[in-house]
Structure 1
Amino acid sequence: MDTQSNTGFSVVFTHIYQDGTREEKVLTPFVENLYEWDEGKHGYLILREYIPLELSFTSTDEDAKCYMDGFDILLNAGLPVDGEGKPYLAAGQQVTLFKYHSNEEYYPYIPGIYCVTIHARGKKILFARKNHFK
Structure 2
Amino acid sequence: MTETITLEEARDVIEAAEEAAEEMGLAMVVTVANPAGNLVAQHRMDGAWLASVSISRNKAYTAAALQMPTHELADPTQPGESLWGLQTTDENRLVVFGGGYPLEVDGDIVGTVGVSGGEVPQDMAVAEAAVDAFQDTME
**Above 0.5 in TM-score?**
no
Q: Which structure shows the bigger proportion of residues in strand conformation?
A: 1
Normalising by the residue count of structure 2, what TM-score does the alignment of the two structures yield?
0.28
Q: Which structure shows the bigger proportion of residues in helix conformation?
A: 2
Normalising by the residue count of structure 1, what TM-score does the alignment of the two structures yield?
0.29
